[in-house]
């Protein structure tokens, strides 16, 4: 039976973030994930590192401040997968007056640290070349950051592994018994092999399943309430040129983002719909697709080649995720707090002096690092030898880009690997940062093409260094190549995987 300091349940952004922080402080960590890393909520976001401009309307100033500070930290830590993004907010006169928007943007500019991003301002739209309907003449601009959410999870897991943590994917947590000074837990590996381990503490970072872990796996009452909210997104052919994103106000009080995505596409989302089903079976509905298309058409002129308004027929891909929010009893799903709650308890057969259980309720991808730091602060009394905080000043794997200048780094890599197609080299630079040097070697010169944009040396790297097992792991979480792949391309990859794993 193997002993650990921490057993972490859940391989999303919170679980991997805590695993990285804890391993870097000297704790012996085991993380178990029942599927693939980032296979649920953490790869289903709007791909933003942002303070949450709309949260100001709900007076969540502390949350916005924390998120804005984290935005700066994460931009420095991972400039290869996180980059500044300019947003255009068209003014809808009947929804919010200009003075209110100016005040909100002023607060957004000044609530947190802002050393890397520009200030907000009011602009006049050039209606002749704007993708928006001509009735929009005034707008505001501000800055946040784009992120490859699934890769952010992978990088935290990779760093945790490099620091000594054990990361087990396709491994299910079954149950655990609080023995007083430790937990005795049973896990099941992907092949069906059962294993019993001991851990001084458990971190329940199971996201939408956090209450199930408490109720079923630990046979404890879940004192904290979880509220599940479905957020869905669609991806359509590119709706507008330029690198700017759009934030659109709706009559129902919600907002929708339209964001440049993977060069040739536009990402549109999100919805906020109460959800009560199995989180593993969440899916976008026809009503949600119609809702997103309808509101896009209120703002944008028809720009696709067919010349018609956007419709469900234009959707090339879609995804839905369940956000495990802390239930603050707010009536509207879109108004439920995105802040997190850390619930620490010590129930055992001997009363309330047992081994600790820390359960994570709520949170957002932007504040995951801060959440991890606060989680270990909660557990500090149980690990007096544990080192102090360190992640605020340490880059994630591949993030040690000189001067955080990605354009210069890409030029350098293109000179270093002249045999690589320039666009492919740029993709590697953004996906792997400085780690692309670990992937490329002399054998890469004799690479075999598996499918559009994917060579065997990259697939091998994703398998051996990033826990990829299936075609879906590679095409939709480690990369987004699946957008441009045919069914036959996918079958070719599945055959290659069968021959090589």
* CATH at residue 204: 3.50.50.60
Q: What is the mean pLDDT of residues 286-294?
A: 98
Residue 201 has pLDDT above 90, yes or no: yes
Q: What is the pTM of this model?
A: 0.95
CA distance 428 to 164: 26
pLDDT for res 116: 77
Residue 331 has pLDDT above 80, yes or no: no
DSSP string, 312-376: GGG--EEEEEEEEEE----SSGGGS---EEEEEE--BTTBS-S--EEEEEE--GGGHHHHHHHHH
End-to-end alpha-carbon separation of the chain, Å?
A: 28
- 67 falls within a domain: no
Q: What is the mean pLDDT of residues 90-105?
A: 87
Lookup: tokens for 281 = 């079976």
Kindly report the average pLDDT of the chain as a whole number: 93
Do 163 and 186 sit in the same domain of this protein?
yes
DSSP state of 265: E
Q: Cβ-count burial of 1 within 10 angstroms (0-12 exposed, 13-18 middle, 19+ buried)? A: exposed
pLDDT digits (tens, 9 = 90+) for 223-251: 767 889 999 999 999 999 999 999 999 88
Do 439 and 493 sit in the same domain of this protein?
yes
- 25 falls within a domain: yes
Q: Are 181 and 165 in contact (CB under 8 A)?
A: no
CA distance 188 to 227: 28
Q: What is the mean pLDDT of residues 287-298?
A: 97
pLDDT for res 329: 58
pLDDT for res 251: 86
Residue 256 has pLDDT above 60, yes or no: yes
Length of the chain: 501
Q: What is the mean pLDDT of residues 272-291?
A: 95
Do 211 and 231 sit in the same domain of this protein?
no
pLDDT digits (tens, 9 = 90+) for 340-378: 899 999 986 666 689 999 999 998 999 999 999 999 999
Where residue 252 falls among pLDDT bands split at 50, 70, 90?
Answer: confident
Residue 332 has pLDDT above 70, yes or no: no
pLDDT digits (tens, 9 = 90+) for 468-481: 999 999 999 999 99
Residue 407 has pLDDT above 70, yes or no: yes
Q: What is the mean pLDDT of residues 314-342?
A: 79
- 57 falls within a domain: no
Range in 77-91, 111-125, 248-262 with the lowest mean pLDDT: 111-125
Q: Are 182 and 198 in contact (CB under 8 A)?
A: yes
Lookup: tokens for 147 = 């992120």
Residue 334 has pLDDT above 60, yes or no: no
Alpha helices, DSSP H only, in 171-325?
A: 210-212, 286-299
Higher pLDDT, 94 or 287: 287
Closest CA to 396 of 49, 103, 51: 49
Do 327 and 460 sit in the same domain of this protein?
no
Alpha helices, DSSP H only, in 78-216?
A: 98-110, 149-162, 210-212
CA distance 419 to 421: 7
Range in 73-82, 115-124, 163-172, 488-497 with the lowest mean pLDDT: 115-124
Residue 214 has pLDDT above 90, yes or no: yes
pLDDT digits (tens, 9 = 90+) for 130-171: 999 999 999 999 999 999 999 999 999 999 999 999 999 999
- 72 falls within a domain: no
Do 178 and 99 sit in the same domain of this protein?
no
Where residue 210 falls among pLDDT bands split at 50, 70, 90?
Answer: very high
Q: What is the mean pLDDT of residues 55-68?
A: 86
Where residue 442 falls among pLDDT bands split at 50, 70, 90?
Answer: low
Give the structural domain span for 127: 81-147+227-331
- 56 falls within a domain: no
User: Count of domains in the chain?
Assistant: 3
pLDDT for res 371: 97
Q: Cβ-count burial of 157 within 10 angstroms (0-12 exposed, 13-18 middle, 19+ buried)? A: buried
Where residue 58 falls among pLDDT bands split at 50, 70, 90?
Answer: confident
Do 134 and 257 sit in the same domain of this protein?
yes
- 377 falls within a domain: yes
Where residue 336 falls among pLDDT bands split at 50, 70, 90?
Answer: low
CA distance 8 to 440: 33
pLDDT for res 175: 97
pLDDT for res 330: 57
Q: What is the mean pLDDT of residues 67-84?
A: 96
- 61 falls within a domain: no
Do 277 and 421 sit in the same domain of this protein?
no
């Amino acid at each position: 039976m193997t002993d650990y300091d921490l057993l972490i349940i859940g391989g999303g952004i919170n679980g991997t973030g805590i695993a990285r922080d804890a391993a870097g402080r000297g704790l012996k960590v085991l993380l178990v994930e029942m599927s693939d890393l980032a296979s649920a909520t953490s790869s289903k976001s709007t791909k933003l590192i942002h303070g949450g401009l709309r949260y100001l309307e709900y007076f969540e100033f502390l949350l916005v401040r924390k998120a804005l500070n984290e935005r700066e930290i994460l931009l420095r830590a991972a400039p290869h997968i996180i980059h500044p993004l300019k947003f255009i907010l068209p003014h809808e006169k009947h929804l919010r007056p200009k003075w209110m928007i100016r005040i909100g943007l002023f607060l957004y500019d000044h609530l947190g640290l802002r050393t890397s991003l520009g200030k907000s301002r009011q602009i006049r739209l050039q209606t002749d070349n704007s993708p928006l309907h001509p009735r929009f003449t005034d707008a505001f601009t501000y800055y946040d950051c784009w992120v490859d959410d699934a890769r952010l999870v992978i990088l935290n897991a990779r760093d945790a592994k490099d620091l000594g943590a054990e990361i087990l994917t396709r491994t299910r947590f079954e149950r655990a018994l609080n023995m007083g000074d430790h937990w005795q837990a049973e896990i099941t590996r992907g092949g069906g092999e059962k294993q019993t381990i001991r851990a001084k503490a458990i971190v329940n970072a199971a996201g939408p399943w956090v209450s199930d872990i408490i109720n079923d796996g630990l046979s404890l009452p879940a004192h904290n309430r979880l509220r599940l909210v479905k957020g869905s997104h669609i991806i359509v052919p590119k709706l507008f040129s330029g690198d700017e994103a759009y934030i659109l106000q709706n009559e129902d009080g919600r907002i929708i983002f339209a964001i440049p995505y993977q060069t040739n596409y536009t990402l549109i989302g999100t919805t906020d719909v109460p959800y009560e089903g199995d989180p593993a079976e969440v899916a976008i509905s026809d009503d949600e697709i119609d809702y997103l298309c309808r509101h896009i058409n209120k703002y944008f002129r028809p720009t696709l080649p067919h010349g018609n308004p956007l419709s469900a027929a234009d959707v090339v891909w879609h995804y839905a995720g369940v956000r495990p929010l802390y239930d603050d009893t707010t009536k509207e799903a879109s108004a439920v707090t995105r802040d997190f709650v850390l619930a620490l308890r010590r129930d055992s057969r001997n009363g309330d002096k047992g081994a600790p259980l820390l359960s994570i309720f709520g949170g957002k991808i932007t504040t995951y690092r801060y959440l991890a730091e606060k989680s270990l602060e909660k557990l500090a009394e149980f690990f007096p030898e544990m080192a102090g905080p360190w992640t605020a000043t340490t880059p994630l794997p591949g993030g040690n880009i000189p001067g955080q200048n990605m354009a210069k780094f890409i030029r350098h890599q293109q000179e270093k690997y002249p045999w690589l197609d320039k666009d492919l080299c740029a993709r590697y630079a953004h996906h792997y940062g400085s780690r692309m040097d670990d992937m490329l070697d002399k054998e890469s010169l004799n690479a075999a093409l598996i499918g559009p944009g994917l060579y065997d040396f990259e697939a091998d790297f994703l398998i051996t260094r990033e826990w990829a097992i299936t075609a879906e792991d590679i095409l939709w979480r480690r990369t987004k190549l699946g957008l441009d792949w045919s069914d036959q391309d996918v079958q070719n990859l599945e055959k290659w995987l069968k021959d090589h794993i």
